[in-house]
């Protein structure tokens, strides 16, 4: 029986970063005070529904507090929410319990409280170890504050920490980027994620870039940034297991792996998505609307669709390609009844010839060069 993941969305942020496209709202203490009990209630309601279902005793092996800025929660809030998870679901004793934290919003007391509540993995949004880059992004913390926050997390006992970095920042050179990568390696987190900045059409960052005449490096340079970082991380003992993620000591992000391996999860909170029993749904995005719907017992779902067998197959193939292990063709044939090579071989072959893909026995995976052009290769499946 596959285990379930639980995702809890905490949409509040102390300030809105110039580039942000997530479902988040400026912190409103009154709304936050109503949001936490509403979220706990939603978890309990979902647990009751699961318990009533025929296969209702599915264990939960990952819980993820994402945002927004979950580290703006008080430890007592996190404790209340985790208590609701444990009361509503059969949470495994060794479950991975992750919480996203921003460097400016944590203190040693708060971190100790999160740990006491049961959080055992911290994912810290550092983005850069260079102050001028952090300033351009509108982040509230400095590089020094990120170092201090990391040290606080270690002293609070966290032995599973992930740091996020962003590349392709305005005015960022290869040397600038590698300075952040090297700094991260010096700190030595168990896990790291790195994302390319996407400048959305109506974001304040786009305007700022135009006004300040900031530009992003050309495509060839960003490819070099990506590859150089991975080489440096390889040499430091990190294993790349996904396009944007590396880990060492086997500390892959178990929750996120569910998204890439046809797993199932229940998402709680405003804007959260869930995938369960072949159905995907999305909840109302406004935090205020979410709270009022919980308080009045109204339906939270704004979109729901049953995934067709073809959609599930496509998703399994293109998310599988994100992983360094790639796709197990024999497994897809066994479980999905599809010979991938027969169906897609003609379209995949040019990518093999171009060195973007490799086929090793029953595995199909992207090369690093292929990871840079993943969207082109994945387009074969949709
Ligand atoms: S902290 Fe994260 S979620 Fe909040 S505004 Fe910044 S990027 Fe967006």
CATH number at residue 323: 1.10.10.920
Rounded to the nearest angstrom, the distance between the alpha carbon of 154 and the centre of ligand 1 is 23
- CB count within 10 Å of CB 310 equals 11
**Total-model pTM:** 0.96
Tell whether 170 and 248 lie within a shared domain: yes
Q: CA 118, 121, 126 angle in degrees (round to 5)? A: 135
Could you tell me what percent of the chain has a pLDDT over 70? 99
Protein residue with its CA nearest to atom 5 in ligand 1: 16
**Number of domains forming the structure of the chain:** 2
Nearest CA to 16 out of 99, 151, 138, 102 is that of 138
Instruction: State whether 251 and 366 are in the same domain.
Output: no
From first CA to last CA, the distance across the chain in angstroms is 29
CB 190 within 8 A of CB 236: no
Q: Is 278 part of any domain?
A: no
pLDDT at 48: 93
* Pocket of ligand 1 contains residue 16 by CB under 6 Å: yes
- Answer whether residue 54 shows pLDDT above 80: no
In which band, very low, low, confident or very high, does the pLDDT at 114 lie, cut at 50, 70 and 90? very high
273 domain-assigned: no
The pLDDT score that the predictor gives to residue 53 is 83
> What H or E segment, with its residue span, contains residue 100?
strand 90-101
- Give the mean model confidence (pLDDT) for residues 67-71: 97
Residue 300 lies in a domain: no
Residue 328, helix vs strand vs coil? strand
Is residue 123 a part of any domain in this protein?
yes
Residue nearest to atom 2 of ligand 1 (CA): 68
* Cβ of 17 below 6 Å from ligand 1: yes
Q: What 8-state DSSP symbol labels residue 70? A: G
Ligand 1 centroid vs 125 CA: distance in angstroms?
9
Q: How far is the CA of 26 from the centre of ligand 1 (A)?
A: 10
> Is 123 near ligand 1, meaning CB less than 6 Å away?
no
Domain shared by 202 and 316, yes or no: no
- Assigned domain for 268 exists: no
Residue in 67, 138, 269 to alter for ligand 1 test, most ligand atoms within 8 A of Cβ = 67
pLDDT score at 56: 66
Q: How close is the Cα of 19 to the center of ligand 1, in Å?
A: 8
The verdict on residue 286 lying in a domain is no
Does the CB atom of residue 24 touch ligand 1 within 6 A? yes
pLDDT at residue 1 in the model: 64
Contact 119, 71 (CB under 8 A): no
E strands in 256-345: 264-268, 273-276, 279-283, 301-306, 327-328
pLDDT of 58 reads: 87
User: Beta strand pairing status for 121-127 and 191-196?
Assistant: unpaired
Q: Is 22 in the pocket of ligand 1 (CB under 6 A)?
A: yes
Query: H or E segment at 92?
Result: strand 90-101
Going by alpha carbons, the residue nearest to atom 3 of ligand 1 is: 68
Residues 335 and 255 in one domain: no
- Say how many Å lie between the CA of residue 201 and the centre of ligand 1: 17
Whole-number mean pLDDT of the chain?
95
Which tens digits make up the pLDDT trace of 185-240? 999 999 999 999 999 999 999 999 999 999 999 989 999 999 999 999 999 999 99
**Does ligand 1 come within 6 angstroms of the Cβ of 5?**
no
How many other CB atoms are there within 10 angstroms of residue 178's CB atom? 15
What are the C-alpha distances in Å from 245 to residues 60, 134, 163?
23, 21, 10
Residue-wise pLDDT tens digits, 145-190: 999 999 999 999 999 999 999 999 999 999 999 999 999 999 999 9
Per-residue pLDDT reduced to its tens digit, 6-35: 999 999 999 999 999 999 999 999 999 999
CATH number for the domain spanning 147: value is 3.20.20.70
Number of H helices and E strands in the chain, helices first, is: 15, 17
pLDDT score, position 156? 96
In a domain, 299, yes or no: no
Give me the pLDDT at residue 25, please. Answer: 96
**Ligand 1: centre distance to CA 17 (Å):** 5
- How far, in Å, is the centroid of ligand 1 from the Cα of 104? 12
Summarised one tens digit per residue, pLDDT across range 332-377 is 999 888 999 999 999 999 999 999 999 998 999 999 999 999 999 9
Q: Can you tell me the mean pLDDT for 67-77?
A: 97
Peptide bond into 68 cis (omega under 30): yes
Per-residue pLDDT at 206: 96
Which of 14, 15, 17, 193 should be mutated for ligand 1, with most atoms under 8 A from CB?
17
Instruction: Tell me the DSSP string of 116-181.
Output: HHT--EEEEEEE-S-HHHHHHHT-S--HHHHHHHHHHHHHTT---EEEEEEES-TT--HHHHHHHH
- Determine whether the shortest distance from the Cβ of 68 to ligand 1 is under 6 A: yes
Q: Within its chain, how far is the Cα of 156 from the centroid? A: 23
Q: What is the pLDDT of residue 361?
A: 86
Residues 110 and 37: beta-carbon distance below 8 Å? no
**Are both 206 and 97 inside the same structural domain?**
yes
Q: Indicate if the pLDDT at residue 298 is higher than 90.
A: yes
* Span from the CA of 99 to the centroid of ligand 1 (angstroms): 14
Domain span including residue 192: 4-260
How many angstroms is it from 61 CA to the middle of ligand 1?
26
User: β-strands 264-268, 245-247: how paired?
Assistant: unpaired
- Atom 6, ligand 1: residue with shortest CA distance: 17
Tell me, what's the pLDDT at 377?
Answer: 94
Note whether 255 and 377 are same-domain residues: no
Task: Say if residue 212 is in the same domain as residue 324.
Answer: no
pLDDT at position 203: 95
pLDDT band, very low/low/confident/very high, at 106 (cuts 50, 70, 90): very high
190 shares its domain with 324: no
Mark which of 245, 260, 275 sits at the end of a domain.
260
Pick the atom of ligand 1 nearest to 68's CA.
3
pLDDT of the residue at 230: 98
**Using a 6 Å cutoff on CB, does residue 200 contact ligand 1?**
no
Q: Distance (Å, rounded) from C-alpha 148 to C-alpha 138?
A: 19
User: Is residue 296 situated within a structural domain?
Assistant: no
Residues 137 and 18 in one domain: yes
Q: Are 167 and 226 in contact (CB under 8 A)?
A: yes
Helix, strand, coil content of the chain in percent (nearest 5): 45, 25, 30
Q: Are residues 8 and 95 in the same domain?
A: yes
Residues in the chain: 382
User: Are residues 237 and 320 located together in one domain of the fold?
Assistant: no
| Same domain (yes/no): 84, 230 | yes
């Amino acid at each position: 029986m596959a285990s379930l993941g639980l995702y809890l969305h905490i949409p509040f942020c102390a300030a809105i970063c110039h580039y942000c496209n997530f479902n988040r709202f400026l912190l409103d203490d009154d709304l936050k005070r109503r949001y936490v009990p509403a979220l706990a209630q939603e978890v309990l309601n979902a647990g009751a529904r699961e318990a009533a279902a025929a296969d209702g005793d599915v264990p939960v092996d990952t819980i993820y507090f994402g945002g927004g800025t979950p580290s703006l929660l008080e430890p007592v809030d996190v404790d209340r929410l985790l208590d609701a998870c444990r009361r509503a679901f059969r949470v495994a004793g060794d479950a991975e319990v992750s919480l996203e934290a921003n460097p400016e919003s944590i203190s040693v007391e708060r971190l100790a409280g999160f740990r006491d509540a049961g959080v055992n993995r911290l994912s810290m949004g550092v983005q850069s170890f260079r102050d001028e880059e952090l300033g351009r992004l509108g982040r509230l913390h400095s590089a020094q504050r990120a170092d201090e926050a990391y040290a606080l997390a270690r002293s609070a006992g966290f032995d599973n920490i992930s740091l996020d970095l962003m590349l392709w920042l305005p005015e960022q050179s290869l040397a600038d980027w590698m300075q952040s990568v090297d700094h991260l390696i010096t700190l030595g987190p168990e896990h790291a994620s790195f994302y390319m900045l996407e400048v959305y059409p109506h974001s304040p960052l786009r305007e700022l870039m135009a006004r300040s005449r900031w530009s992003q490096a050309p495509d060839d340079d960003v490819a070099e940034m990506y590859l150089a970082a991975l080489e440096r991380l390889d040499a430091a003992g990190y294993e790349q297991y996904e396009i944007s993620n590396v880990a060492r000591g086997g500390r892959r992000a178990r929750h996120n792996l569910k998204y890439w391996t046809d797993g199932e999860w229940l998402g709680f909170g405003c804007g959260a998505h869930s995938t369960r029993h072949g159905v995907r749904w999305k909840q109302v995005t406004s935090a205020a609307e979410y709270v009022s719907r919980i308080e009045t017992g109204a339906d939270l779902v704004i979109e729901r669709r049953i995934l067709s067998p073809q959609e599930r197959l496509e998703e399994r193939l293109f998310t599988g390609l994100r992983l360094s292990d790639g796709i197990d063709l024999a497994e897809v044939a066994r479980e999905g009844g599809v010979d991938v090579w027969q169906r897609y071989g003609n379209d995949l072959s040019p990518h093999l010839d171009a060195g973007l893909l490799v086929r090793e026995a029953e595995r199909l995976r992207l090369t690093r060069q292929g990871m840079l052009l993943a969207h082109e290769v994945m387009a074969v499946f949709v």
